[in-house]
Every structure is written in structure tokens, then in C-alpha cells.
């Protein structure tokens, strides 16, 4: 009998602390499935962020390190250089990767570190309670932009993926989304390719995953998925950037 669907070996069987409708559970699973399929569980080292996914190491069943807020790429740089045969990936949110850690992100990318970055963009700060993120959309109401993001005051949503794609040392950048099953399958393909790139020594690969945060977007899980499809991906178009 052929097994069509089972629990990934790299994902522990436990309840997560994530809210209803949150995208982290799906993103964790996609990474786990890819790690299993590529048979790299025994040589993967993950760098968990500060933010909602800080205890990703409680869910993944392989070696993990925590990093200070924004510093995952610096930590990943060192681990990869020390263990070039290990497979290193960072898993970071928009605040982590594109606000407090922008410097570490840009320079790791510019050095062409042979690592994989999984970048979760949900347009909001989740862990701290729904404040403006670098990727918050214009007019989007948050705990720190109660009248909506005013681009004249707060600037425009930061397109870090497009910025990184400009760097000659960056090998691959792709934006995907989790708002429906077809997009989730595309997201998995992109995640898989980003790991394959590393295994082939191609250099820095980043997958931006547009992900739902119903709790702080302030909509039901279903409405949040619709909002991503109708609004968010207009600001952050999906597809291969580089």
C-alpha cells in the first residue's frame, strides 16, 4: 500500500502555541516536509527568530539555535562557515528580518552566504501585540498606527526581497503565499528549491512567505485569507524575483 500522507518525521507531534488561522503551522510543516524529502534531517541546523516563532525548536525535531532579535543571519553565517556540510536555514518574521535585523540580512546576503532564509511576512508584529511592521500596508490599522499607516509619516511598506535581489551575490529570491492550497503547494516548491540551492552550493536563497495573522490583522481566519488574496499580494506580488 502506498502512503500518500503522513506526519513529517522532522515535525514533533505536539500542539503548537499559535493562534487560530496563523500561517506558522503551515510554514513549519512545509519546511519539515522538505527536510524529510531531501533526507537532510541529520544535518540541518535551524536558526529560530525572536517573535511568535521563537520556540520553533519545540516543534522541529532537528538541531536548532535561538538568535537574538534580528541577528539570525549573523548566527547562521558563523554556523555555516564552521560546518560547511551542514544545511543551515533561518526562519524569521518581518520585524526580525526587515526591521531590527536589516543590517545582518543585507550583509549576509551580500557576502553570498550559502544559507537558506525563510522569511515570514504577515504585515504585522504578532508576538508583541499587533504593532506596525516594516511590511504593514498603507492605511493598515495597527496598535502603533491607530489611524492607519500614513506613508508620508511612516514610510512605505519595505520590499526587502526586491532590495536583496539587486545584490550580485544573492542567488535566488522568491515570494510565495499561504492563502489557498494551490499557493501553499507553490510555496513548498519554492522552499524545496531554496534548500536544493544550498545543497548544490549555489549561495544565498530567500523565500518570502506571505502568511496570515488573523489575530492582529483583526479579521477572521477566512477573511484574512481573502484580504491576503485581494489586498496584500497586490502590494507584495508573488513569484520569482530573482
Q: What are the residues binding other proteins (CB under 8 A)?
A: 41-45, 47-48, 54-55, 57, 60-68, 71, 74-79, 81-83, 86-87, 103-104, 106-107
To other proteins, the closest distance from the beta carbon of 70 in angstroms equals 9
Nearest residue (CB) to other proteins, 101 versus 157: 101
To other proteins, the closest distance from the beta carbon of 8 in angstroms equals 14
Q: What are phi and psi of 121, to 5 degrees?
A: -105, 110
Rounded Cα distance, 206 and 37, in Å: 19
Nearest residue (CB) to other proteins, 57 versus 91: 57
The rounded radius of gyration (Å) of the Cα atoms in the chain is 17
To other proteins, the closest distance from the beta carbon of 15 in angstroms equals 14
In sequence order, what are the beta bridge partners of 89? 46, 116
To other proteins, the closest distance from the beta carbon of 68 in angstroms equals 5
Nearest residue (CB) to other proteins, 43 versus 189: 43
Which residues contact residue 19 at a Cβ distance below 8 angstroms, ignoring those fewer than 6 apart? 126, 213, 214, 215
Nearest residue (CB) to other proteins, 74 versus 98: 74
Return the DSSP state at 45: E
Nearest residue (CB) to other proteins, 66 versus 223: 66
Which residues contact residue 201 at a Cβ distance below 8 angstroms, ignoring those fewer than 6 apart? 114
To other proteins, the closest distance from the beta carbon of 46 in angstroms equals 9
To other proteins, the closest distance from the beta carbon of 82 in angstroms equals 4
Nearest residue (CB) to other proteins, 7 versus 83: 83
Q: What are phi and psi of 179, to 5 degrees?
A: -85, -10
Go through 41-63 and write b for each residue having 16 or more CB atoms within 10 A of its CB, e for each that does not.
bebbbbbbbbbbbbebbebbbbb
Query: Do residues 131 and 143 make contact, with C-beta atoms less than 8 angstroms apart?
Result: yes
Amino acid at each position: 500500500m502506498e502512503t500518500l500522507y503522513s506526519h513529517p518525521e522532522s515535525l514533533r507531534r505536539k500542539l503548537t502555541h499559535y493562534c487560530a488561522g496563523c500561517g506558522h503551522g503551515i510554514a513549519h510543516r512545509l519546511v519539515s516536509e522538505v527536510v524529510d524529502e531531501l533526507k537532510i534531517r541529520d544535518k540541518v541546523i535551524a536558526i529560530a527568530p525572536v517573535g511568535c516563532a521563537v520556540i520553533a525548536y519545540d516543534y522541529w525535531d532537528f538541531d536548532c539555535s535561538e538568535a537574538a532579535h534580528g541577528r539570525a543571519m549573523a548566527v547562521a553565517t558563523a554556523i555555516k562557515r564552521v560546518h560547511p556540510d551542514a544545511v543551515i536555514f533561518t526562519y524569521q518574521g518581518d520585524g526580525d528580518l526587515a526591521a531590527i535585523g536589516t543590517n545582518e540580512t543585507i550583509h549576509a546576503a551580500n557576502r553570498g552566504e550559502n544559507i537558506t532564509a525563510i522569511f515570514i511576512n504577515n504585515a504585522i508584529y504578532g508576538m508583541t501585540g499587533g504593532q506596525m511592521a516594516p511590511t504593514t500596508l498603507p492605511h493598515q490599522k495597527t496598535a502603533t498606527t491607530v489611524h492607519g499607516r500614513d506613508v508620508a509619516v511612516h514610510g512605505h511598506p519595505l520590499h526587502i526581497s526586491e532590495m536583496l535581489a539587486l545584490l550580485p551575490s544573492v542567488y535566488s529570491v522568491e515570494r510565495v503565499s499561504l492563502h489557498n492550497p494551490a499557493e501553499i503547494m507553490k510555496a513548498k516548491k519554492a522552499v524545496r528549491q531554496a534548500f536544493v540551492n544550498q545543497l548544490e552550493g549555489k549561495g544565498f536563497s530567500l523565500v518570502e512567505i506571505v502568511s496570515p495573522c488573523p489575530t492582529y490583522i483583526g479579521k477572521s481566519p477566512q477573511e484574512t485569507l481573502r484580504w491576503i488574496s485581494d489586498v496584500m499580494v497586490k502590494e507584495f506580488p508573488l513569484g520569482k524575483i530573482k
